[in-house]
A = this chain, B = another copy of it.
């Protein structure tokens, strides 16, 4: 009947998670405050704080000053998707990475693009389209618009060897961005590029990247059929 001691925040976290999973603390319950837990666990309040903060970050606890800490009623699962450079993504799967530039030109973008990028309607942008391959089979089609006002050095690049995906990440700083996942039917052109049937369902990732108040780049990545983005919860 020895009370176990919890010397580090990870073990406190584990115990807290155990209690939540075992329903010792049920959804909606107010759990004891940090000082009491520290006393019970035989550690400093700081340590309990660290552990509770970690659990709260994962969405299983709701914490509010003075109100205390309670078990989340409906834990919002937070799926964290790691969006890496496509070359790394492929190489990490143990596959051979291939790259092919399709087109590269300066052009006035369609309204949808200039709007999204908050760029003047008749302003020329750099338009790069390319294909990423894994073991010589089409993996993802990249359709990208780059704002030369923000990344003038981008105009000097051919993107024939290094993809815009990779070049930009290395050379264009950004402060924030947004990303959207959706499904779309392959147009005949997309089908040809990705070597799939027309109207195949494709996973699309649209990303818009900002540096301060100006848009750096807007990209759509279309993945081949049956492509999955996976993560653990």
Residues 192-233 of A, flagged 1 when their CB comes within 8 A of B and 0 if not, give 000000011111100101010000000000010111111111
CA distance A201 to B223 in the complex (A): 13
Copies in the complex: 2
Q: Does A75 contact B (CB under 8 A)?
A: yes
Contact residues in B for A68 (Cβ distance below 8 Å): none
**In chain A, residues 67-85, which have Cβ atoms closer than 8 Å to a Cβ of chain B?**
73-85
Q: Is the CB of B84 within 8 A of A178?
A: no
The listed residue (B76, B200, B227) touching A185 by CB distance below 8 A is B200
In chain B, what residue has the closest Cβ to A203?
A: B183
Q: Is the CB of A176 within 8 A of B232?
A: yes
CA distance A17 to B230 in the complex (A): 29
Q: Is the CB of A74 within 8 A of B85?
A: yes
CA distance A84 to B78 in the complex (A): 8
CA distance A183 to B185 in the complex (A): 9
The listed residue (B80, B88, B211) touching A78 by CB distance below 8 A is B80
Closest Cβ–Cβ distance, residue A88 to chain B (whole Å): 6
Q: Does A156 contact B (CB under 8 A)?
A: no
Q: Is the CB of A74 within 8 A of B183?
A: no
CA distance A26 to B57 in the complex (A): 29
Binds B, one of A123-131, A142-150, A167-175: A167-175
Q: Does A27 contact B (CB under 8 A)?
A: yes
In chain B, what residue has the closest Cβ to A20?
A: B173
Closest Cβ–Cβ distance, residue A186 to chain B (whole Å): 8
Q: Is the CB of B202 within 8 A of A199?
A: no
Closest Cβ–Cβ distance, residue A70 to chain B (whole Å): 14
Given contacts A176-B233, A201-B201, 7 further A-B contacts (CB under 8 A): A17-B175, A77-B82, A78-B83, A178-B232, A179-B231, A179-B233, A183-B227
